Amino acid sequence: MAGPALRGVVVFVRARQLTSGPPGGHDVSPPRSPPEPQGEADRGLQVLDTRQRLAASEQGIPMLLCPPRLLRTGLAVALITISAGAVSATAVSTPPAVEEEPGLLSRSLAAKSGTEAAEMTADILRADDTDTILDIAQGYGEAELVTTETGDPVITGIINGVAYQLFFLDCTDGTDCEVANFYAIWDRPDVALDALNAWNRTHPFHKAYQTEDQYPVVELNLSLRGGVTRTQLNDAFDRWTIALAEFEAQILDPSL
């Protein structure tokens, strides 16, 4: 709709420019005695409108198609207004953005990350935290902390009537141990080797084997390098507790 309206405005302007002077040498003068005083600008516009209307009449153009200049000006303004309104868009005011303190989000995230990191660090258990490890072991049964001849720590305990040892291996002067070795042995030299192999195939976290004296052994190893969380250590004790019960039920006393 905007295109045709703009072209109409151009037609009016061109018509006014082409008919600015009378054709055929006719001289049309403005009225010498105007009915009321007019300014110089108003008289000039009236003369121009009269000449254009006479020129249009001589060229055979109906007077209705050549309105006075003031009317044409009003039409042009109306067309321009309509054209501008057709393509204009209503501006929607947007509330100003709330300004945040620079770096507030980054500092908040950093503080949160720092807090989480501190909590995770506090939850890490080292091999030297033997008192804490002993406390966890005592939650599964009787347990006490002893020391071997080489100075390495060992936890001896009983879970559901089954004795076991928790050795700390690969230590340096009794500290900085890198492996926690859960170990249980039974005085039952009559266990078949095929039964132990079948056990190993269904228990990937443990290993069962026979000693040189044909005694069955079950082990579970947990790496302590870099430390372990309390959750990981509890999970290891859970697996160990289940393994001891299943080994006795499935290997040592399969008839039960």
Q: Report the CATH number that the domain containing residue 179 is assigned in CATH.
A: 3.30.1460.10
| Structural contact between residues 171 and 177, judged by C-beta atoms closer than 8 angstroms | yes
Pair (147, 237) in one structural domain: yes
Number of domains in the chain: 2
**Same domain? 146 vs 231:** yes
**Do 142 and 244 belong together in one domain?**
yes
Domain final residue, candidates 87, 110, 136? 87
Nearest to 8 by CA among 90, 97, 79: 79
Residue with tokens 């044409």: 72
User: Which stretch of DSSP H or E encloses residue 57?
Assistant: helix 40-58
Q: Are residues 79 and 158 in the same domain?
A: no
Instruction: Read off the pTM.
Output: 0.54
If asked whether residues 53 and 145 sit together in one domain, one would say no
Asked which of 35, 58, 87 is the last residue of a domain, the reply is 87
241 and 152 together in one domain: yes
pLDDT for position 121: 56
In a domain, 14, yes or no: yes
Query: What's the pLDDT at 235?
Result: 96
130 shares its domain with 176: yes
In a domain, 113, yes or no: no
Q: Is 33 within a domain? A: yes
State which residues of the chain have pLDDT below 70. Answer: 1-122, 255-256
Could you tell me which of 189, 192, 137 has the C-alpha nearest to residue 163? 137
Cα–Cα separations (whole angstroms), residue 69 to 35, 55, 58, 164, 185: 19, 14, 18, 114, 118
Domain match, 64 and 152 both: no
What pLDDT, on a 0 to 100 scale, did the predictor assign at position 111? 56
Query: Does residue 133 lie in a domain region?
Result: yes
Q: Which range of residues forms the domain containing residue 208?
A: 124-252
The reply to whether 204 falls in a domain is yes
Amino acid (1-letter code) at residue 60: G
In a domain, 46, yes or no: yes
